Amino acid sequence: MLKISRKALGLITSLAILGFCVGCAQKKQSVKKENSSVVANPVIAHRGAWKAKNLPENSIASLKEAINLGCRGSEFDVHLTADDVLVVNHDQTFYGLDVERSTYKQLLSKAHPNGESIPTAEEYFIEGLKQNHTKLIYELKASEISKIRTLKAAELAVQLVKKYDKNSMVEFISFDYDALKKIKELMPNARVSYVGPRGDAKAPQQIKSDNLTGIDYRMSVYKENDTWIGNSHKLGLSVNVWTVNKKEDMDYFIKEGVDYITTDYPEMLFEVLTDESPKSAK
């Protein structure tokens, strides 16, 4: 019978423990890498990844940061100017100028604090389509002037996507239901999700019957309608929740199994996902 000294046995035990610890570390790193991939992670940067580095919202810089982080998508907001140029900005105004009542040239008289001019949707596309892991989540903003202007913005958005032939890299969202239906009419294979305004969140069955592809509601809607996430998935719809900026809310919606989580803190969400994954693997 082979005899092993206490010293040798101790060395073998130490090596085994060390190997186990290295394996655990490697497993955690691989989980983090998986959660940073286009396939595995639900992280949508809200108006780009801007908050941690104090970048302008909806700027090219915030888009680049979302891409650098490995986000699943970067959401941005698009308005139509008075001379029919699609531009990226959240509010109806850009540093005091009414976006849809101003020409693009007039808007160029203002700039973000980092020196960037207001981006056109096309400039945003050109930058975003240099890679293939972070989708462009295009929010079409409704016109305050007329429904006709909103539908025109939808038509121009479809033309832009078709021009670059990268439909798989773009998903549309909007508070305007008619605009989404117009996009589906013009581009049947487009992915479009309804961002229901307060008090008008439509049930998954209606979304499906109108041939849209997903729902994109605020946190409270899902908590008030606790079957909608599961029902949406049964119908083949995607589910996004916004704007999720606290760890406890991130935890909640990860466990609920939503497809996308839109946040101003994508870095935090990646950390939460890394912590969650080993638990869920048990």
pLDDT by residue (tens digit) across 59-72? 999 999 999 999 99
Structural domain contains residue 240: yes
Structural domain contains residue 139: yes
Whole-number Å distance between alpha carbons of 93 and 230? 38
pLDDT at 249: 98
> What is the span of the domain harbouring residue 175?
37-280
How many domains is the chain partitioned into structurally? Answer: 1
**pTM of the predicted model as reported, rounded to 2 decimal places:** 0.85
Collect the ranges in the chain with pLDDT lower than 50.
1-3, 7-9, 11-39, 278-282
Structural domain contains residue 22: no
Burial category of 102 from C-beta neighbours within 10 Å (exposed 0-12, middle 13-18, buried 19 and up) = buried
Cα distances from 198 to residues 66, 178, 241, 275, in angstroms, run 28, 17, 14, 33
Structural domain contains residue 120: yes
Structural domain contains residue 6: no
Q: For position 45, which CATH number holds?
A: 3.20.20.190
pLDDT at 20: 37
Structural domain contains residue 75: yes
Whole-number Å distance between alpha carbons of 172 and 16? 52
Structural domain contains residue 184: yes
pLDDT at 104: 98
